[in-house]
A and B are shown apart, each in its own frame.
Chain A
Amino acid sequence: MERVIDFLRYRWIAIGLSFAVITLFAVTTYMRGGFAWGIDFIGGVKLTVQFDGRTDPGDVRKELEKHGIKADVQQYGREELNEFIVSSKLLERGESSEKSAETIKSSLDAAFPKIKILATETVGPAVGDFLKKSAVKLMLIAVALMGLYLAFRFELKYSAGVMVAVVHDVVMAFLFCGFMGVEINVPIVAAILTIFGYSVNDTIVIFDRVRENLTIHAKSAFGQILNISVTQTLARTFITSLTVLFCVLSLYVIGEGTISDFALVMLAGLISGTYSTIYIAAPVVLWWHKARGE
Chain B
Amino acid sequence: MTRGMIYKAMFIMAILVFAVLLILPTVGKREMSVIFEKDATTEQIADLEKHFASSGLLVVRSDAGFSVSGYGINDAVMNEVKIIPGVKEVRIIPHWSEKALLAKKMNLGLDLQGGMNLVMRADFESIEHKQDKKLTDSEKMDITQQALELLRNRIDKFGVSEPSIRPRGAEAIEIQLPGVKDPMSVKKAIGTTGRVEYRLVDDEYTRLAGQWLAGNIQRFKDGKIPENPEEQYTILNEAAKAIGLPARSELLFFYERDENTKKILPSYPIALEKEVALAGNDISKAWVGHDEYGRLSVHFTTTPDGASKFATVTSTKNHGRKLAIIIDEKVRSAPQVNVQITTGQALIQGDFTLEEVNTLARIIKEGALPVNLVIIEERTVGPSLGQDAIDAGIKATILAFSVVMIFMVAYYKLSGFIASIGLILNIICQLALLSWLGFTLTLPGIAGFILTLGMAVDSNVLIYERIREEQRSGKSPRIAVVNGFDRAFWAIVDSNITTLIAAFVLSQFGTGPIKGFAVTLSIGLISSLFVVLYVTRYVFEILSLSKNLKKLSV
**A interface, CB within 8 angstroms of B:** 48, 77, 98, 101, 116-124, 126-127, 130-131, 134-135, 138, 141-142, 145-146, 149-150, 153, 186-187, 189-190, 193-194, 196-198, 200-202, 204-205, 208-209, 212, 232-233, 235-236, 239-240, 242-251, 253-256, 258-259, 262-263, 266
Interface size on B, residues (CB 8 A): 67
In this assembly, does B231 line the interface, its C-beta being within 8 Å of a C-beta of chain A? no
Within 8 Å of chain A (Cβ to Cβ): is B85?
no
Q: Across the interface, do B469 and A212 meet the contact criterion of CB distance under 8 Å?
A: no
* Cβ-defined partner of A198 (8 Å) among B487, B499, B504, B518: B499
Does any Cβ of A come within 8 Å of B376's Cβ? yes
B residues with CB within 8 A of A: 119, 121, 169, 172, 183, 374-382, 384-385, 388, 392, 395-397, 399-400, 403-404, 407-408, 411, 443-444, 447, 450-451, 453-455, 457-458, 461-462, 465, 469, 487, 490-491, 494-506, 508-511, 513-514, 517-518, 521
Instruction: Say whether A124 contacts B377, CB under 8 Å.
Output: yes
- In the complex, A196 Cα to B502 Cα: how many Å? 7
Determine if B498 and A245 form an interchain contact, defined as CB atoms under 8 angstroms apart: no
Least distance between A131 CB and chain B CB atoms (Å): 7
Assess the A197–B502 pair: CB atoms within 8 A. yes
Chain B nearest CB, measured from A216 CB (Å): 11
Q: Which listed residue, B399, B403, B498, B511, touches A204 by the CB 8 Å rule?
A: B498
Which residue on chain A has the smallest CB distance to residue B412? A239
Q: Are A247 and B453 in contact (CB under 8 A)?
A: yes
Task: Decide yes or no: A246 and B461 within 8 Å by CB, A124-B377, A134-B510, A254-B396 being known contacts.
Answer: no
Is the CB–CB distance between B454 and A245 below 8 Å? yes
User: Is B457 within 8 A of A240, CB to CB?
Assistant: yes
Known: A118-B384, A197-B499. A247 touches B451 (CB 8 A): yes
Other A-B contacts than A138-B505, A197-B499, 5 sampled, CB-CB below 8 A, are A98-B378, A121-B378, A123-B377, A194-B506, A202-B495
Q: Are B494 and A255 in contact (CB under 8 A)?
A: no
Which residues of the partner chain B approach A198 to less than 8 Å between Cβ atoms?
Answer: 455, 499
Docked CA distance A236–B460 (Å): 10
From B376, B384, B411, B469, residue with most partner A Cβ within 10 Å: B376
Q: A243, B407: Cβ atoms under 8 Å?
A: yes
A146-B501, A186-B513, A236-B462 as given contacts; A254 in contact with B451, CB under 8 Å: no
Q: Complex: how many Å from CA A190 to CA B521?
A: 11
* A131 with B395: CB separation less than 8 A: no
The answer to whether B509 and A134 touch across the interface, beta carbons within 8 angstroms, is yes
For this complex, 15 residue pairs linking A to B, each with C-beta atoms less than 8 Å apart, are A77-B388, A118-B385, A120-B380, A126-B376, A141-B505, A145-B504, A146-B502, A194-B451, A197-B501, A201-B499, A204-B494, A205-B495, A239-B465, A246-B400, A248-B454
Question: Contacts A248-B451, A251-B450 hold; do A236 and B461 have CB atoms under 8 A apart?
Answer: yes
Q: Nearest residue in A to B191 (C-beta to C-beta)?
A: A98
**What's the minimum C-beta distance from B520 to chain A, rounded to whole angstroms?**
11
Q: How far is the CB of B444 from chain A (nearest CB, A)?
A: 6
A253, B495: Cα distance in complex, Å: 28
